[in-house]
Chains A and B, each alone.
Chain A
Amino acid sequence: MIDVKNLTKRFGPKLAVDDLSFAVKKGEVLGFLGPNGAGKSTTMRMVTGFSPVSTGQIEICGISMIDDPQTAKRKIGYLPESAPLYNDMTVTSFLNWIAKMRGLSGSTRKEAVAKVIETCFLEQVARQSIDTLSKGYRHRTCLAQSLIHDPEVLILDEPTDGLDPNQKHEVRKLIKELGKEKAVLFSTHILEEVEAACTRAVIVDQGKIVADGTPSELKDQGNGSLYDLFHKVTTTDAQAAAA
């Protein structure tokens, strides 16, 4: 459902994403791992159609994001990294607005909003203004907006960042559940998350895929520890500075 081929992104002379190719099928949850600055968010911004690609192909459910972005964007639900929201709105009015933008109307919209409020446990704050929400609720409101149109493809940029352990657990459970029916791509730098939620994971470093496999395969590559593998295949800031 997500098909990325030879994706490259340059910022001036800097190569942020270097000839990246991967695919996510329906029923798959692909974890995107890597140190900060590895190109995870840049890749996701290109896959969601926010940021233009330098070269390469992106197809969402067979629709090219480069040639027909508006149709391709309909298929995607996206949670950006910082969970941005319009602070002047209430949770319900914000979700209603997103649903409208997604082309839902009438009773379908009402049901969709009610459903995501339930899925993301937002009942308590539904009428509250977004600028009064705690970080956990903000994050879940943004997650709710990505689910509102029941997309076939879900792209989540650090969906558990800033959540407390209980919330992290709930979100992972939710991702796993959603992954049965959808194609999910999510980024994280929490290694335990890979085993908890992913069916497959790739490790990205300096814009390239340096490891790819199921969580257990990756563990084997690292002699039983994901941490060891991660440390072996990625560049630390000190190494990058020395190079």
Chain B
Amino acid sequence: MKTALTIYQRELTAYFTQPTAYAIIVIYLLLSMGLTFTFGGFFRVGDANLAYPHFYWNPWLFMLLAPAIGMGLWSDEQRTGTIELLGTLPTSTWSAIVGKYLAAATVCLVAIALTFPLWISVNDLGDPDNLTIFSGYLGSFLVCCTFLAITMLVSAFTRDQVVCLIVSVAICVLMVMIGFDTVVIELTKILPEGGVEPFIAFGVWDHFNSLMRGAFRFQDFVWFASIIVASLFGTSAILTARRS
């Protein structure tokens, strides 16, 4: 596991020596603040609460930005052939997966953490429930991690970053959109009976909403953890299969 840490350090340095991480973080901050103060109605609502003005927008932003963070994770290794270097070093595939995943998750954590002035502001302007705000941040981070894990799984399939980006965005968009009744109704028309339930279970809102409102429900953590762990195991299986 010591090698996982070495891989983590390399990946994280790579994010921050190239423009990738900066571009994603800046765009995230601009969009999330823009949405908070316009459609989110931060001032109009007049409530020292970040749930609907701010956290609500995170799944919408992360469904596009998380794939941008994670699209190169394995596709780039496969395109440049460095996967062969990594695969012949005395380390396990699993260490590499964990190291890379945590590096990408760190970029996302930095992006989310940089919205801290908002947290300070609501404390200055009113008297919010800080535990609820923490829960909202945790939920946002878990949503981003879930999308990242899916992106990582997709990136194991292809050596093309663009293909990885498009496919992962499509999956993440589906996970966000499935929470809306109109989408469910349309899907019920297309899919055979009982075919729509698995998609609904795949939706992110049910689990994100409770955290956004400050409810810690065990089932939500299980949902996030199982999608993340399953994606990482899937990545390992795909990488092993592609080597042979």
Q: Is the CB of A101 within 8 A of B17?
A: no
Stretch of A24-32, A81-89, A193-201 on the interface side: A81-89
Q: Is the CB of A97 within 8 A of B85?
A: no
Interface size class on chain B is: 20 to 34
Q: Is the CB of B89 within 8 A of A86?
A: no
Contact of B87 among A50, A81, A97, A102 (CB under 8 A): A50
Chain B 81-93: CB-based contact to A (< 8 A → 1; otherwise 0): 1111101111110
* A82 surroundings in chain B (CB, below 8 A): 81
Q: Does B219 contact A (CB under 8 A)?
A: no
* A209 surroundings in chain B (CB, below 8 A): none
Q: How far is the CA of A238 from the CA of B242 in the complex (A)?
A: 30
| With contact pairs A52-B243, A80-B85, A101-B6 given, residues A87 and B80 touching in the complex (Cβ less than 8 Å) | yes
Closest to B86 in A: A101
Q: Does B27 contact A (CB under 8 A)?
A: no
Q: How far is the CA of A48 from the CA of B85 in the complex (A)?
A: 10
* A71 surroundings in chain B (CB, below 8 A): 90
Q: Is the CB of B89 within 8 A of A101?
A: yes
Q: How many residues of A contact B (CB 8 A)?
A: 30
Q: How far is the CA of A218 from the CA of B60 in the complex (A)?
A: 67
Q: Does B244 contact A (CB under 8 A)?
A: yes
State the Cβ distance, A161 to closest chain B Cβ, in Å: 13
Q: Does B226 contact A (CB under 8 A)?
A: no
Contact of B89 among A51, A73, A81 (CB under 8 A): A73
* B2 surroundings in chain A (CB, below 8 A): 103
Q: Does A76 contact B (CB under 8 A)?
A: yes
Q: Is the CB of A145 within 8 A of B85?
A: yes
Closest to A94 in B: B10
Q: Is the CB of A70 within 8 A of B91?
A: yes
* A101 surroundings in chain B (CB, below 8 A): 3, 6-7, 89-91
Dominant secondary structure of chain B at its interface with chain A = helix
Q: Is the CB of B14 within 8 A of A88?
A: yes
Q: Is the CB of A88 within 8 A of B88?
A: no
Q: Is the CB of A88 within 8 A of B18?
A: yes
State the Cβ distance, B237 to closest chain A Cβ, in Å: 13
Q: Does A45 contact B (CB under 8 A)?
A: yes
Q: Does A78 contact B (CB under 8 A)?
A: yes
* A100 surroundings in chain B (CB, below 8 A): 6
* B240 surroundings in chain A (CB, below 8 A): 52
* B6 surroundings in chain A (CB, below 8 A): 97, 100-101
* B83 surroundings in chain A (CB, below 8 A): 84
State the Cβ distance, B120 to closest chain A Cβ, in Å: 35
Q: Is the CB of A70 within 8 A of B90?
A: yes
Q: Does A171 contact B (CB under 8 A)?
A: no
Chain B 54-94: CB-based contact to A (< 8 A → 1; otherwise 0): 00000000000000000000000000111111011111100
Q: Is the CB of B88 within 8 A of A76?
A: yes
Q: Is the CB of A84 within 8 A of B88?
A: no
State the Cβ distance, B157 to closest chain A Cβ, in Å: 18
Q: How far is the CA of A80 from the CA of B86 in the complex (A)?
A: 11
Q: Does A231 contact B (CB under 8 A)?
A: no
Chain B 79-118: CB-based contact to A (< 8 A → 1; otherwise 0): 0111111011111100000000000000000000000000
Q: Is the CB of B87 within 8 A of A49?
A: yes
Q: Is the CB of B81 within 8 A of A80?
A: yes
Q: How far is the CA of A86 from the CA of B81 in the complex (A)?
A: 9
Q: Does A232 contact B (CB under 8 A)?
A: no
Q: Is the CB of B244 within 8 A of A52?
A: yes
Instruction: List 15 contacting pairs A-B, 8 Å CB cutoff, sorted by A.
Output: A52-B240, A52-B243, A70-B90, A70-B91, A70-B92, A73-B90, A76-B88, A80-B88, A81-B81, A84-B80, A85-B82, A86-B80, A93-B13, A101-B7, A101-B89
11 further interface pairs, Cβ-Cβ under 8 Å (given A51-B244, A80-B88, A86-B80) = A45-B84, A50-B88, A52-B240, A52-B244, A71-B90, A73-B88, A78-B85, A85-B80, A86-B82, A97-B6, A101-B3
- The 8 tightest CB contacts between A and B, nearest first, are A84-B81, A50-B87, A73-B90, A80-B84, A84-B82, A48-B88, A88-B14, A74-B90
